Structure formats: structure tokens, C-alpha cells
Amino acid sequence: MITQTPDRTSSDRLLKSIIQLDKVSKNELLSCVEQAWQLEERLMRSLTSADTFYLNPDPLRNPLIFYLGHSAVFYINKLIRVGLLEQRINPHYEVLFEIGVDPSTPEELTTATQHIEWPDVEAVWQYRTKAREAIAQAIQQAPLDLPIQPQHPLWGLVMGIEHSRIHFETSSMLIRQLPLDRVQRPQDWPYAPTQTHNASRPNSMVMITGGTVNLGKPADSSTYGWDIDYGQRTVEVESFLVSQYPITNREFLAFIEAGGYENPEYWSPAAWDWRQRHEIQHPKFWRSLSSISLSANSPNSSASAEALPYRYRAMFDEIDLPLDWPVEVTHYEAMAFCRWKGEGDRLLTEAEWQRAVTVQEQRPLAQGDSSTDGYNNDYNLDFKWGSPCPVGSLAPQTATADIADIYDLRGNVWEWLGDVFAPLPGFQPHYLYEDYSMPFFDDQHYLMVGGSWASTGSYGSRSCRNWFRPYFPQHVGFRIAHDID
């Protein structure tokens, strides 16, 4: 039985994790470190045995023990670099756990890691404890000259906080791939309802009027950004059509039932090769069964009690396929769906997505709603739920003759864009993390925007520009767009 916490919409339940760098206090910095730290520890303690840490849930990523040590080591190395710490805790660990991986093949990862002798799990937990104490001491002793800007020593601390938040999200994707007997859902990890009274409503196309879009986070922003978020490009966006909701599991099921995975016409040559080599027949976290009868009385079943050939792997459980949650797919699968859906259907561009957010956020907030640095109750962000939620279920109904509601532009799941990952004009790598984004300017990664239910801090902000390879799943879905003829 999947239990749910019914009230996750109150703003006081959110972490409110965006740090205001022009007025933050030391106590607030300590609190942000603790919030990010506890999220990651809650996730890592879901593993049921020590030997699970030595598994590779995903063949393109390190074993989980690397991620247990990585965030703590990142903090220590950056704080030493900026002069806020003088002594290392464990020089061996601070090399071993320093740099992650993004191989193009499992064989590439094996070559890079096959000779590594990973330490004892308990020793890594002990390192984390020592690192946590050192971080707190560094904050207490650091001069707090506001604002904290990119050359400020405390920028290294904030970078560590944001990096830890990223790895809560990326590690959740790895742990989600473990066998069920390797994990146990933490007590305070509520899944969202699987359906609402508005289930099965049509996913209409909404017109977004064109306009000027300025891409890039302002250099004088009072909140943190990664190097790739900065730079500037001005784009004149033509009016376009966009789906009101992200594509749902229900809609994607129709693509599968129409033979979408069997028709090479819907797939690029690289995508078709990937699909065939890995025998991909459905999204990563769908579980194929011969037939599942869904009871209309079940809280996890569809209202029409359809017979479905799939179940769904949530973070720690397998449940009935939540038809009204957004589908989570690779870029390859998203593009194939667009080609199947209709001539001219495509993914949004970055400029179009920003334009849609601007138009949508022009509407007045509903009575009783609140907005703090880009967060409000309209978004499944910041661990409001420990899963996606039904599309459109959080936003108030505020459509007018001039502004039609578009739902889940932020939060719930990331959105794949049609853009190849690339820097904006004026991009400069930050000296503390020069390889954060530059190694991925290779035309082999695609942009993702909007954040997911697991995105906290700067990753939940409108200006965040995320990226992954087109065949890697990361709590990411899509919506369709269309030119206006």
C-alpha cells in the first residue's frame, strides 16, 4: 500500500532553498548546508545493506559509494581552495571522490575505474561526519562581507551547497534503478496522488504570443548561478503553439500502442541504433507485464479501471502506472513521439520556453498564494512531493481571454528542449569549477529546463540551464510545440 501525505501545498512545508546572497546570515548558511546535507543523507540511508553501495545501478555512472563521499569532498576541496579551511581531512579521499564521470559507453567507465579500490562504507560515513563539522567551523570563522559575489570566498561554500543539492537529484535517479529489495522508502518521502478529478482532460495547444526574450542570468543577480547560466543572448521569438501540459504517461502509452517503438521512421539513425542495441520497448521506469487489472477503488488506479500492460517504478516502490503523471523519457524518445504525433510537432526551444514562462507568470497570483524567489505553490519543486504529480494538479485555474494557463512549466519533471547544449555569448567558466560545463560543449548533450520534484536551490530557478546525453534519463519529460503557419 502506498501511503500519501495529503497536504504538501502549504508554503511553510517548502524548503525555500534559494539563498539571497545580498542579505544572508551565517545562521542561514548553516541552515542551508544542513538542509542539503539531510536530503542527501535521507536518500543514501534508504539503501538496505552496505554492499549495495558498491553496485553500479546505471552502467554510465560510478558505484554509489562514490556519491556517498563526493559531495563532502567537494565542500572540503573548495573551502581549502578559497582559504576558508587550512587542513585536509583525508587527502586520499579528497582525490578519490573528487571528480565524477560522464562516459559515452559502459566500457569507457570500466576502463577508467576498474583498478579503483573503494574504501569501507562506514569509513566514508565517518568522513562525512568530520567534513560536516569542518564546514560548520569554516562558516563560523569566515568574514561575512555582503553581497557574496563570484570572487567572494564564501562563493565556494554556496557552490558546495548547490553541488550537494544537484547530487541529491542525480543520486536519486541512480537509486531508483536499484532492485526493490535493495532500498526502503524513508518515512518522510510522500508520493503524490496518482490522479485528480481532472484526469483525462485534453492536452490542448495554447498560443504564446511572440516577443523579445533575453536569455541568461543577470550578472548582478542576488542568487547563485552556475557558470553556464550566465552570458546573454537576445532572441526575437515568433508566436507559437505549445501543449498546455507536459506529455503524460497516458499520452505516451498511445504512442507505444501505435507501434512507436517499432517504426524507424520516428527515430533518428542514432536513436534507432540505441533503441535496437538496448532493446528499448518503453520508458525506463515502466515495468512491462502481460496485463494488469486496475481496480477503480484503488488509490493508485485510473478512474476507468483500464487493463494496462505496465506498472511504474517510483523511487522505492512499484505501483500502478500513474497515467496522469508526466512521462519520463530520454531525448531520443521525446523526439520520436513528436514525429509520431504529427507533422511539424517538435520540442520547445530555450527561447520559446522562457517566453512561455514570462507569459504565464504575468497572471496574478491566486488569493493566498505566495512567491519567494521563483517558488510558489504552483510548482512541484523543492521536494514538495517525492515523485511527480498529476499534470496541472497544483496550479490555480486563472485562465483569461488574454492569458491561457500553461501548467508545470517548472517543476514536476525537467523538460527536454530541442537545443543542443551550448554556452551563451559572454560565457566564462568559474575558476573554482572550470570543468563544470565546458567539457560538455560537444553537440552530444541537450538542454533541459524547469527543474523537477527533486530540484532544490538554483536548480529549481528559471535561469537554470541543465543538460544530459540524449539517452540518459533524469526525471525529465517534455511538451510539444508547433509553429503557427
Where do the structural domains in the chain lie, given as residue ranges? 11-182, 205-247+342-483, 249-340
Residue 5 has pLDDT above 70, yes or no: no
Q: Is 115 exposed, middle or buried (0-12, 13-18, 19+ CB in 10 A)?
A: exposed
The three three-digit cell numbers of residue 386, written as one number: 517525492
Predicted confidence at residue 377, as pLDDT, reads 53
79 or 367: which carries more pLDDT confidence? 79
Q: Give 480 or 362, the one with higher predicted confidence.
A: 480
Amino acid at 53: F
93 versus 60: the higher-pLDDT residue is 93
Ranking 184-198, 352-366, 388-402 by mean pLDDT, the lowest is: 388-402
Q: What is the pLDDT of residue 234?
A: 98
Predicted pLDDT of residue 293: 41
Most confident segment among 166-180, 199-213, 393-407 = 166-180
CATH class held by domain 11-182: mainly alpha
Which pLDDT value is given to residue 29?
98
Which is higher by pLDDT, 196 or 171? 171
Q: How does the average pLDDT of the chain come out, rounded?
A: 89
- Select the more confidently predicted residue: 301 or 261: 261
Extended beta strands in 328-440, E state: 346-347, 371-372, 375-376, 414-420
What is this structure's pTM?
0.91
Provide mean pLDDT across the span 317-324.
96
Q: Express each pLDDT in 367-407 by its tens digit.
A: 333 344 444 557 999 999 999 999 998 865 555 544 568 99
Using a 10 angstrom Cβ sphere, with 0-12 exposed, 13-18 middle and 19 or more buried, the burial of residue 447 is buried
Provide the pLDDT for residue 16: 61
Q: How far is CA 90 from CA 128, 156, 291, in A?
A: 11, 19, 53
Q: How far is CA 411 from CA 128, 414, 441, in A?
A: 30, 7, 25
CA angle 97, 446, 466 (to 5 degrees): 55
**Three-state SS for 256?**
helix
- Predicted confidence at residue 329, as pLDDT, reads 99
pLDDT-based confidence at 306, cuts 50/70/90? low
Given a contact cutoff of 8 angstroms between Cβ atoms, the answer to whether 311 and 283 are in contact is: no
The predicted structure's pLDDT at residue 50: 98
Average pLDDT over residues 338-346: 94
Q: How confident is the model at residue 450 (pLDDT cuts 50, 70, 90)?
A: very high
Q: How confident is residue 198, by pLDDT bands cut at 50, 70 and 90?
A: low
* pLDDT at position 151: 96
Which three cell numbers mark 388? Answer: 511527480
Neighbours of 87 (CB within 10 A): 8
**Are 228 and 445 a contacting pair, CB within 8 Å?**
no
- Euclidean distance between CA atoms 241 and 379, whole angstroms: 22
- Inform me whether the pLDDT recorded for 4 exceeds 80: no
Start-to-end CA distance of the chain, whole Å, equals 49
**Identical topology for domains 11-182 and 205-247+342-483:** no
H or E element: which one contains 168?
helix 153-175
Q: Which of 143-157, 177-191, 283-297, 435-449 has the lowest mean pLDDT?
A: 283-297
pLDDT confidence tier of residue 15, bands split at 50, 70 and 90: very low
What confidence category does residue 294 fall into, taking pLDDT thresholds of 50, 70 and 90? very low
Cα(5)–Cα(193) distance, rounded to whole angstroms?
Answer: 9
- Is residue 7 over pLDDT 60? no
Which residue would you say has higher pLDDT here, 379 or 156?
Answer: 156
Query: CA nearest 253: which of 192, 319, 309, 195?
Result: 309
Please determine, for residue 299, whether its predicted confidence score (pLDDT) is greater than 70: no
* Structural fold of domain 205-247+342-483: paralog of FGE (formylglycine-generating enzyme) (3.90.1580)
A 10 A CB-CB count for 295 gives 11
Q: Tell me the residue ranges of DSSP E strands in 162-306.
A: 205-208, 211-215, 233-237, 240-243, 286-293
Mean pLDDT over residues 328-355, rounded? 97
Nearest by Cα to 420 from 436, 452, 442, 451: 442
Give 428-468 as a DSSP string: ---TT-TTSSGGG-SSS-EEEES--TT--GGGGSTT--EEE
Largest CA distance in the chain: 64
pLDDT digits 0-9 by tens, 210-232: 999 999 999 999 999 999 999 99
Q: Is the pLDDT of residue 485 over 90?
A: no
- Order of strands, sheet of 414-420, starting from the edge strand that comes earlier in the sequence: 466-468, 446-449, 414-420, 476-477
Taking only the tens place, the pLDDT of each residue in 415-434 is: 999 999 999 999 999 999 99
pLDDT at 17 (0 to 100): 76
pLDDT recorded at residue 395: 66
